Amino acid sequence: MKIRQLSRSEIDLLRINGCSADDWSQVAITEPVIPERYRNVRFSGTVTISKQDGTIEIDKSIVRPCGIYDSFVKDCQIGENVFISSVKNLVNQRIGNNVVIENVAELVNEGETTFGNGTEVEALNEGGGRTILIFDCLTSQLAYLLANYRNDIKFIKVLEQIIRDYIRTKKSTVGIVETGVRIRHCQIIRNVCFRQYSITIGAAFLQEGTIQGCSADPAIIGEGVVAKHFIILSGSHVDDGAILDRCFVGQGVKIGKQYSAENSVFFANCEAFHGEACSVFAGPYTVTHHKSTLLIAGMFSFFNAGSGTNQSNHMYKLGPLHQGILERGSKTGSFSYLLWPSKIGAYSVVTGKHFSNIDAGDFPFSYITEENGKSLLTPAMNLFTVGTRRDTDKWPKRDRRKDPNTLDLIRFDLLSPFIVEKVLTGIDVLTKLGESAQRTQEVINYKGLQIKRLLIKSCARYYEMALKIALSEEVVHRLERLPANTMLNEIQKSLTFDDKVKNESWRDISGMIATNSSIQKFMDEIRAGKISTVNSTLEHLKAIHQEYEKTAGDWFLCKLEQRLGIEISQILPGQLIQIISDWKENRLKLNNMILKDAEKEFDFNSQIGYGLDGDTETRQLDFESVRGTFDNNTFVCDLKQESESVVVRAEKLFAKLNEL
């Protein structure tokens, strides 16, 4: 398409349409020129316009002729078939094809910008020192390493340089509005990059940011949003008066209902409504829905904050410099309070107010409750609650990300090696505490917590149950993959594992479960300059993520071998039958315990407030019509079905092994 200056007659026609220009010679246009597609436009500086001969759908069933109407346009390159209408100041923008910009007070670019890339976010520790450089393909893994591996000064320095090199490529003196973008009914927008197909409707103030998108999964910014120094990635919705300052919003995140956040990062599938975040590292699936909920100076993932959840990071001494860690899958009850620094183990529930610094990192699946002003720890209690099981089932189903390039690497397994390693530690610690306790002792003190002595043995037994399930499950999986009539030596071969896993330890890198050695190797390569770009950094992390299943399986077998004291590659059919029998027994036992917990949701106590104006029968009928019955509950039915399937699977394997 040839771009050319306007002819005299075209300028005359545009003038008749109410258009004017500082200098018409600076306005270039692509043929065909259709003068009626330009009305009441003031052109200023250098403006180039591609052809405007089509129509565009600006909202559902509202189709308008492309062109520029009632706007002031200065120093802009405008793509094909756009609809620009009622824009008071459209300045210094590169606008792609099929874009709608309508009813906007100001869309300008001033000076040089990186569109929020390179913003330093003081996450996790409000006092600083764990700065995360945000950019438009930051993952929860990179952010985790940047925030938490500060002990390795060289690694951080090199990694930050890699990121800064990438950020330099984002420098621009021109605003960017890419193909398919919709910007409607907004107020002030300065130095913002709108990537493909992103939608911004009704935003109040956007400054120094990137709104990422793709046709499969546009980012959507809604009414009343105020955002400064930000990155918002594909599939995310930020709306309803949310206020963001120095924030990163990853893929598939929902932030709205007047939520306010500063110096915080939110990764895949987080949800934040009503409350407040300050220096928060919200790993994947961090959810806070309620008013009066403050998350401050903490790191979370797969987390659910009860209403009024609060933490203190400022002890009015040296400043707001304390931080807290809630490992994956934790929950805080309504009006719970935690004093930082504290650490809560994975899949734990915190209720009540805790005025001591507590460290329950060795105890996954714990209940941390308040009793007479003291923090009481009941390890393993949350292993067999219906909530833990339900959460684990729901997270993978709630992955909203549709972008073909998913960034955060996430493992959902409940009994991953990371958790099982903690279970092993938990058993060890409980055993030692139990051995050293006196029978007269009611409680045992441990890292700011109290554990009821009576429960020590039971808690260790619950952990043992989880351990047996996790380790023997790998044997079951491997045997199930073998064809019928497999000979014993082939079975034994299928149960071999790589010796390298023997001394492995596991990490939860904000959603990605990985071995310590793979992370160390990655860091070595960063330090040595073998990985030198953001792209290769992300590729290396993906490769680590993909190693998981093989390495985790090998590690489980290795641990099983150590615990049984046998050489698993020489295992005999009788020993395999025992392992499968244990697996079956413990899976069924755990499911039954979860069912027992679910049953409480239907018992007489749960019916309080039902059948308000009637008798017991009314109460029962009212409850059943609203909540259903235990036997018909979908979760309960699924779990019962799963138990039946466990029995069938075990029987099949027994039959196979008995034939050997």
Partner 1 sequence: MEKADVRERVKSVVAKVLKMDINQVANDANFIFDLGADSMQSLELVAGFEEEFGIEMDEDKALRIQTVEDAVQFIAGYLN
Which residues form the interface with partner 1 (CB under 8 A)?
Answer: 367, 369, 378, 381, 439, 452, 454-455, 457-458, 461-462, 465, 588-589, 592-593, 596-597, 600, 604-605
How many distinct helices (H) and strands (E) make up the chain? 12, 41
What's the min distance (Å) between Cβ of 632 and partner 1? 22
C-alpha–C-alpha distance, residues 340 and 320, integer Å? 10
C-alpha–C-alpha distance, residues 39 and 232, integer Å? 34
What's the min distance (Å) between Cβ of 371 and partner 1? 9
Crossing angle, helix 534-564 and helix 573-600, to 10 degrees? 110
What's the min distance (Å) between Cβ of 352 and partner 1? 12
What's the min distance (Å) between Cβ of 581 and partner 1? 15
What's the min distance (Å) between Cβ of 613 and partner 1? 23
Give the residue with the Cβ less far from partner 1, 394 or 457.
457
Give the residue with the Cβ less far from partner 1, 605 or 634.
605
Give the residue with the Cβ less far from partner 1, 456 or 541.
456
Alpha helices in 298-416 (DSSP H): 386-397
Q: Is 348 helix (H, G, I), strand (E, B) or coil?
A: coil
What's the min distance (Å) between Cβ of 645 and partner 1? 18
φ, ψ of residue 482 in degrees (nearest 5): -80, 145
Contact 293, 305 (CB under 8 A): yes
Give the residue with the Cβ less far from partner 1, 398 or 457.
457
DSSP assignment string, 66-80: -EEEEEEEEEEEE-S
Give the residue with the Cβ less far from partner 1, 382 or 515.
382
C-alpha closest to that of 34 among 81, 100, 94, 91: 81
What's the min distance (Å) between Cβ of 452 and partner 1? 6
Give the residue with the Cβ less far from partner 1, 61 or 438.
438
Give the residue with the Cβ less far from partner 1, 459 or 501.
459
What's the min distance (Å) between Cβ of 384 and partner 1? 8
Give the residue with the Cβ less far from partner 1, 241 or 434.
434
What's the min distance (Å) between Cβ of 374 and partner 1? 14
Task: Quote the strand ranges of 494-544, DSSP E.
Answer: 506-509, 512-515
Residues 6 or more apart whose Cβ sits within 8 Å of residue 568: 492, 495, 496, 497, 557, 560, 561
DSSP assignment string, 191-259: EEEE-TT-EEES-SEEEEEEE---TTS--EE-TT-EEEEEEE-TT-EE-TT-EEEEEEE-TT-EEETT-
Give the residue with the Cβ less far from partner 1, 164 or 596.
596
C-alpha–C-alpha distance, residues 165 and 534, integer Å? 9
The letter for the amino acid at 380 is A
Paired strand residues for 106: 89, 188
Contact 236, 250 (CB under 8 A): yes
What's the min distance (Å) between Cβ of 639 and partner 1? 14
Give the residue with the Cβ less far from partner 1, 256 or 352.
352
